[in-house]
Amino acid sequence: MSVLAVTNLTKRYHRGGKPFAAVDEVSFDVGPAETLALAGPSGSGKSTIARLVLRLIEPDAGRIDFEGANFLALSGAALRARRARLQMVFQDPLAAFNPRATVARVLDDPLRIHGIAPRSERPHRIAALLERVGLDTGLAARAIHEISGGQRQRVAIARAIATRPSLIVLDEAVSALDVSVRGQILELLLDLQRQERIAYLFISHDLGVIRAVADRVVILDAGRIAESGDARAVIADPQSAVGKALVAAMPKLIRNRP
């Protein structure tokens, strides 16, 4: 059974007075411990799908099933409990946190709110989470605005895994990271997936990254699915016009190896 199943999802906005569908009848599913990537040009609807799945916004039509339950029908305590199982890491780590909060505070919140660990155990848990994402435990006392962009993104990942979710929605989570850290983070994500069977809805404009981490890919264009399939097969030989254009425009590193 799939962790997440999305059926005919539609979200409309207005632009210049006229309605348009930012997400237009989109259907896909994500299995346990699977990574499904959403790719597509800027403005194609990727983040809107992420927000819909997280119920940060409500769809105009369609259905979302999460862990076998009709997610759109949940409310109150049932929704809160289910949300611990569905975490997110966004493009823009500064906006996700109060910049004055310390790293320890950011990691303490989910442990406390979802009753993951008693108070006495939390400092130890926080240190373990930091180590897990490759950060020095000394960072715990720092304010969020006092660490680098890449360090912040690792804190965001540490927070997402704190509640042992079954699905993490990652929206451009590694786009701002340098290659060495990005490689480590991707390894970490894969490692977590294997050990804890976490599924990822992995949004990225970077096909090189998608090819390295995703099992399957869905390519969106103007709110609709242009094509989907095995990630490496689709990227090696895209069939849709938009898929072809995205692949053709990849920056290439031309090296004359000695």
Ligand X SMILES: Nc1ncnc2c1ncn2[C@@H]1O[C@H](COP(=O)(O)OP(=O)(O)OP(=O)(O)O)[C@@H](O)[C@H]1O
102 alpha-carbon distance from chain centroid: 23
Q: Cα separations (Å) of 91 from 9, 74, 130, 150, 220? A: 22, 27, 20, 11, 18
Give the pairing type, strands 167-171 and 86-89.
parallel
Closest distance between other proteins and the C-beta of residue 107, in Å?
Answer: 18
Does 191 interact with other proteins (rule: CB under 8 A)?
yes
Does 149 interact with Mg ion (rule: CB under 5 A)?
yes
Q: Which is nearer to Mg ion, 138 or 149 (CB)?
A: 149
Contacts 24+ apart (CB under 8 A), 209-212: 209/174, 209/182, 210/37, 210/39, 210/235, 211/235, 212/186
Does 204 interact with ligand X (rule: CB under 6 A)?
no
Candidate list 82, 114, 205, 224; residue touching ligand X; CB under 6 A: 205
Stretch touching other proteins by CB under 8 A, among 63-71, 85-93, 107-115, 160-168: 85-93
Other C-beta atoms closer than 10 Å to the C-beta of 111 total 20
Distance CA 234, CA 56 (A): 30
What amino acid is encoded at 106 in this protein? Answer: V
Other C-beta atoms closer than 10 Å to the C-beta of 183 total 14
Stretch touching Mg ion by CB under 5 A, among 20-28, 43-51, 56-64, 224-232: 43-51
Q: Given the rule CB under 6 A, which residues bind ligand X? A: 13, 22, 40, 42-48, 145-151, 178, 205
Q: Given the rule CB under 5 A, which residues bind Mg ion? A: 47, 149
Q: Given the rule CB under 8 A, which residues bind other proteins? A: 13, 15-17, 39-43, 46-47, 91-95, 142, 146-151, 171-172, 175-183, 186-187, 190-191, 194-195, 205-209, 211-213, 235-236, 245-247, 249-256, 258
